[in-house]
């Protein structure tokens, strides 16, 4: 199970549109920081900062391949976030269904 701190840092990281775009790009395959920077009008340092935030919260990892340092999306961690969201959705769907049933029962009793 993902801890609250993992969820907090991951959702905070995904709160930034640049980081969401980086995650979306990495969903298509590994890329170096330079390759990730291509579509953005940001300095390499700014992209490195965003990559660092994503790495520290566990959404991506970087490895060495000679002189290259490609980034890879950690799909298992992203899946845990999706599972948490799905659990919350099911809980609220159940609550809303119960409320709807209660209101229907109340209306039928009048």
Q: How far is CA 103 from CA 9, 72, 84, 92, 100, in A?
A: 39, 49, 29, 16, 5
Give residue 1's pLDDT band: very low, low, confident or very high (50, 70, 90): very low
Complete domains list, the chain, with CATH: 4-108 (1.10.10.10)
- Span 77-98, pLDDT tens digits: 888 888 888 988 998 888 898 8
pLDDT tens per residue, range 47-78? 999 999 999 999 999 988 888 899 999 988 88
């Amino acid at each position: 199970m993902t801890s609250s701190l993992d969820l907090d840092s991951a959702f905070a990281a995904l709160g930034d549109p640049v980081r969401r775009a980086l995650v979306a790009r990495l969903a298509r395959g590994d890329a170096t920081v330079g390759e990730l920077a291509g579509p953005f009008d940001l300095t390499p340092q700014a992209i490195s900062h965003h990559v660092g935030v994503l790495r520290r919260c566990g959404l991506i990892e970087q490895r060495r391949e000679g002189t290259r340092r490609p980034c890879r999306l950690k799909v298992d961690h992203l899946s845990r976030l999706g599972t948490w969201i799905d659990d919350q959705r099911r809980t609220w769907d159940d609550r809303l269904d119960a409320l709807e049933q209660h209101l229907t029962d109340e209306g039928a009793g009048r």
